[in-house]
Structure 1
Amino acid sequence: MDTPPPPTPRTEPTDADVEAFKQQLGRPPRGLRAIAHRCPCGQPDVVETAPRLPDGTPFPTTYYLTCPRAASAIGTLEANGVMKEMTERLGTDPELAAAYRAAHEDYIARRDAIEVLEGFPSAGGMPDRVKCLHVLVGHSLAAGPGVNPLGDEAIAMLPEWWLKGPCVQPLQAPDPADELPGEAQGEVTDPTAIRSSFFAYAPLVPEGFSRVAAVDCGTNSIRLLVADVNPATGELLELDRRMTIVRLGQDVDRTGRLAPEALERTFAACRDYAETIRELGAEKVRFVATSASRDASNRDEFVRGVVDILGVEPEVISGDQEAEFSFTGATKELKGRDDLARPFLVVDIGGGSTEFVVGEEHVRAARSVDVGCVRMTERHLVRDGAVTDPPTEEQIAAMRADIERALDLAEETVPLCEARTLVGLAGSVTTVSSIAQELPEYDSERIHHSRISRDKVREITEWLLHSTHAERAAVPSMHPGRVDVIAAGALVLLSIMERIGAEEVVVSEHDILDGIAFKVAEGV
């Protein structure tokens, strides 16, 4: 960012500010004291909150970032390892460490001036580490430049998020002269409530279709699909599809808990998705959570955060349910193809687990096993807190043996070798396709329904396993969040192809998200 947003005076919140806050976070404000900073677009982007919520619950985050666009951009920085790099510098740069400790003292002093919270540290990881850039940026915007050095650095890395205009729009005041439906017949009993809905955004949806939103939150990424869906004809008209690397499953395999910074990254993406869902006017939203949140002991914290932001409770589905959704999304378009033999084997290689589904028109058998690109990377390729660059032959052999054991488990339930067409889903598979095609950038249209031979998958997997982080990061179609986990994901795909003797894999960009969207439209 060439020019950071200017400091703005602390102001009392107006009714319009409160409404903007509600739209930004998808819930009423709690403990709101003041607008600590305004975005250049004029809307609040940082609020000052009371150290205790109205019910007495301690809330140590005094400066809370509310702008979903800024929050999403910060989440991208976090997912790309900026927090880890900053924390490492705190241990080697005494001057930076001293300035960061002073920022901690400033934060505590500002909070203590409202109410002292005994025993509660300042937020964001201060003073010794960085665990939430959202807090540091909020502090920097509220206090002004020069107070929090790492908050200032993060702001400098952000795009100018306000250039798209306000992230939320003020409520449109109704004209009293406008006649509402039913008003002439004396049927209006609560004009205020009816006028509110009368002036709400109403999307134009084709006849027979429903506008729905599906969110799939996995171990490595969270994805959104907003679409108009006709369940009777099987048509799906995509309006918005996006993916954010959040690494929700960070260290879950080792600790059994969702890390605070992983939750913050996920909630930042949820705020961005909530804005898109509102803008497009989806009638129904379904949020499906998969492997990482199934395994975590603190998943209730995850559930509360999602409900606060999106207003829907995440469904922590079983692996078998996940597999059924994936099969529906992946095969609806393929069932009319004469060049693809049945039955299909759909494999969804996620961050923490892989789903296997065999079926023709409907699911015949399904199984989820605990191998995925993140889980395999953290279990076998990490030494002393960092991914081995590149892995040793012993690490690769151990990982392959783990994958083979998982395939043995899958075969107990799913007749893998009866499959005649292998359909591969999710980021590991689509990234392998983009590498195979030597795409100059990630191109969903060219990846969707591409076919990659087993020999090509083997060649790419061998290169990924023996390349360095820098070499993998230089691949133009590689998402930064996949650089360290793609080798494990590719090895899972290759192992599956070798086990069942598949000569090729058909790559699909349509997967669990599409399956969820169809189920939402069907009311199931």
Structure 2
Amino acid sequence: MNTADRTVTEQDLDTLSLQLGRPVRDVVEIGARCVCGSPLVATTAPRLSNGIPFPTTFYLTHPVLTAAVSRLEADGEMTRMNERLAEDAELAAAHREAHEAYLAERDRIGRLSGVGEVKEIAGISAGGMPERVKCLHVLVGHSLAAGPGVNRLGDEALEKIAPWWTPEACRCDGAWDASAEVPTKDLSRHVKHLEKVEALKKVTVAGIDCGTNSIRLLIARPDEQDPETLVDVVREMTIVRLGEGVDATGEFSAAALERTFAAVDAYARLVQRHHAGAVRFVATSATRDVQNRQVFVDGVTQRLGVEPEVISGAEEASLSFRGAVSALPPGLDPQDRVLVVDLGGGSTEFVVGTAAGEVVDAVSTDMGCVRFTERFLPDADPTEDQVTAATAGVDEILDHVAGRLPLETVSAVVGVAGTVTTVTAHALGLEDYDSERIHATVLPVDEVTASARALRTASREERAAMGFMHPGRVDVIGAGALIWSRIVERMREVAGVTDVVTSERDILDGIVLSMKDH
């Protein structure tokens, strides 16, 4: 189902009451909908308004669907399933995993509804899980709400009721009397929940940055103590390698699009779950030039309900700068010149501006860790000639940048994005990735170049064993480290910069801040 459709409306509450023939109680979300939009599953608070604990989080409401499941129960399916559970260890383990997933969702709904933990039903799911099957309606409701692969027996039950009901076809016409008077209901908790959701939508924003190598999500809302400051609600990063092969083919591969769309689906669920009322999806670098860009745009729009903006290199640089300068140490004059370098997978942005956040000029280049890996360093253990060619490629681009930007006026350099933070993690000797320790770190140029060289010359196995190394960065960090080391060396030569700053705040933060302004 469309993940943006879980929010409960007044019309949903009326429909649910008509479907059930009684006043609906304490619905927090619509767990699943018919293809026409009518509710199939009511996601219910774990404690009702009258104080009674309610373990059935996912409650089937659609009369045709409910009748189909009842017919399956009457045919003895629960007995057959219980016999299989006793004989099939793999099935039994899957049933226990479904139980844990059910509990996790109930905890989430408890927090979302304001009910919190309900100790009376702690560790108890529903439907007979984790050992038996006592109610197929519960398992089917869980399957519809969670999607395929979470509740195996619920999925099986859905397949078996296909002669009478399927999720692909609407069976709502005549299933209940839509013209009847809606049963009287107490909407006190529903109204409070809807008011809370609407209030959150007004202030919660979500930004998505889709680059060549990774896609990232930031959901933020104003700090309660300082409403002018946005605080993180969710910050996620997924390596999707969208730009894999683009340099050679000129288009996104089917596999790369599949990986990216799977990440967008997951992000859409988080956006809906945290009630972000405004979403901005920014696509950069490789997306500007590919032949099948529209396939990407349509796929994202369908999943997220927001069309991705394929922004220019100049705007990308401006957004990166705004997010990055928050890492600068105190004491700089607001008018001091700063160079922010956003080293991505397919491009690197160079932005010169002031410490106060005003952009002076920017250049976007076709240089990045993925692009240079494919172009110059395709081998796991590159030859000296390959390294020499890559270095020359970097230097050529830096010559171009120096001709466009007043690099000699810069008094501070800030590096952002995964290559820079990975080099910093190595320089700090971290065993695991620690964003708080990495952010705002100031490193001497010599330490940066030493760590960059160590990462570039390490074997693939050695890089993969580094606890701070994201698995998706193992194969491209060599090129990225080379690029970053040449940049900081050049800035020492032309501007006398002796230290560089690492920022965990970058274009993603700039995207969210741009939404706050509007």
Question: Where on the TM-score scale, by shorter chain, does this alignment land: which range?
Answer: 0.5 to 0.7
**Paired residues of 2:327 and 2:439 also in contact (CA < 8 A):** no
What is aligned with 1:369? 365
What is aligned with 1:202? 197
Out of 448, 453, 456, the position equivalent to 1:462 is: 453
Instruction: Report deviation, 1:341.
Output: 8.5
**Paired residues of 1:306 and 1:312 also in contact (CA < 8 A):** yes
Out of 315, 321, 328, the position equivalent to 2:315 is: 321
2:197 aligned counterpart, secondary structure:
coil
**Residue identity matched to 1:377:** T
What is aligned with 1:71? none
Percent of aligned positions with the same letter in both sequences? 44
Instruction: Report deviation, 1:458.
Output: 1.5
Cα 1:455/1:175, change in 2 over 3 Å: farther
Instruction: Report deviation, 1:225.
Output: 0.3
Show the 5 A alignment for 1:7-156. Answer: 20=31
**Paired residues of 2:286 and 2:346 also in contact (CA < 8 A):** yes
Instruction: Report deviation, 1:410.
Output: 1.5
Instruction: Report deviation, 1:234.
Output: 5.2
CA distance in 1, matches of 2:218, 2:406: 31
Q: Is residue 185 of structure 2 the alignment partner of residue 177 of structure 1?
A: yes
Q: Is residue 472 of structure 2 the alignment partner of residue 481 of structure 1?
A: yes
Greater share of residues in helix: 2
CA distance in 2, matches of 1:443, 1:311: 33
TM-score of the two chains, using structure 1 as the length reference: 0.62
* Greater mean alpha carbon deviation, residues 319-328 or residues 460-469: 460-469
2:467 aligned counterpart, secondary structure:
coil
Cα 1:179/1:483, change in 2 over 3 Å: closer
Instruction: Report deviation, 1:306.
Output: 0.4
CA distance in 1, matches of 2:452, 2:193: 56
What is aligned with 1:440? 431
Q: Is residue 214 of structure 2 the alignment partner of residue 221 of structure 1?
A: yes
Instruction: Report deviation, 1:260.
Output: 0.5
**Residue identity matched to 2:205:** V
2:263 aligned counterpart, secondary structure:
helix
**Residue identity matched to 2:445:** R
CA distance in 1, matches of 2:513, 2:247: 32
What is aligned with 2:513? 518
Out of 414, 432, 449, the position equivalent to 2:405 is: 414
Q: Is residue 416 of structure 2 the alignment partner of residue 425 of structure 1?
A: yes
Deviations 1:397-453 (A, max 9, x none): 111111111112222221122211100000000011111111121111000001122
**Paired residues of 1:223 and 1:244 also in contact (CA < 8 A):** yes
**Residue identity matched to 1:450:** T
CA distance in 2, matches of 1:407, 1:215: 29
Q: Is residue 303 of structure 2 the alignment partner of residue 295 of structure 1?
A: no
CA distance in 2, matches of 1:370, 1:394: 21
1:202 aligned counterpart, secondary structure:
helix
**Paired residues of 1:253 and 1:375 also in contact (CA < 8 A):** yes
**Paired residues of 1:267 and 1:305 also in contact (CA < 8 A):** yes
What is aligned with 1:67? none
2:376 aligned counterpart, secondary structure:
helix
CA distance in 2, matches of 1:482, 1:511: 18
Gaps of 5+ in 1: 1-13, 30-40, 45-154, 182-194, 383-387
Q: Hey, which bits of structure 1, 4+ residues long, moved more than 4 A? A: 19-23, 41-44, 158-161, 166-170, 195-198, 203-206
Cα 1:304/1:434, change in 2 over 3 Å: same
**Paired residues of 2:327 and 2:503 also in contact (CA < 8 A):** no
TM-score of the two chains, using structure 2 as the length reference: 0.63
Gaps of 5+ in 2: 1-15, 21-29, 38-56, 61-93, 106-141, 147-181
**Paired residues of 2:210 and 2:282 also in contact (CA < 8 A):** yes
- RMSD of equivalent CA atoms: 3.8
Instruction: Report deviation, 1:504.
Output: 1.9
